[in-house]
Amino acid sequence: MALMITDDCINCDVCEPECPNDAISMGLEIYEIDPHKCTECVGHFEEPTCAVLCPVACIPLNPAWRESREELQAKYERLTAAKAGT
């Protein structure tokens, strides 16, 4: 699963710079997570850093975006290879 940011977001700016995949960006009103880039930090960290650092705990799993750990690892590998190619 990818993560998502709920309406409880207070725009504290803590999550965005911590995302190793650049999956977090400012939306119209609150930060948003691009599920195509979110690996839940698989390949980078033991836990999703954005969720760990969020002061209002507004970054749960996105139930509409289900992925296994293996799928998240494969996504991490694709994203890492694409970054290295640039």
Confidence of residue 72 (pLDDT cuts 50, 70, 90): very high
For residue 30, is it within any domain? yes
For residue 9, is it within any domain? no
Domain residues for 80?
Answer: 16-84
For the chain, how many structural domains are there in total?
A: 1
**For 7-55, how does the pLDDT look when each residue is reduced to its tens digit (9 = 90+)?**
999 999 999 999 999 999 999 999 999 999 999 999 999 999 999 999 9
Report the CATH number at residue 22. 3.30.70.20
Assign 3-state DSSP to the chain and report helix, strand, coil percentages, each to 5.
30, 10, 65
- Is the pLDDT score of 86 beyond 80? no
- The alpha carbons of the chain give a radius of gyration, in whole angstroms, of 12
Cβ(29)–Cβ(8) under 8 Å? no
pTM score over 0.75: yes
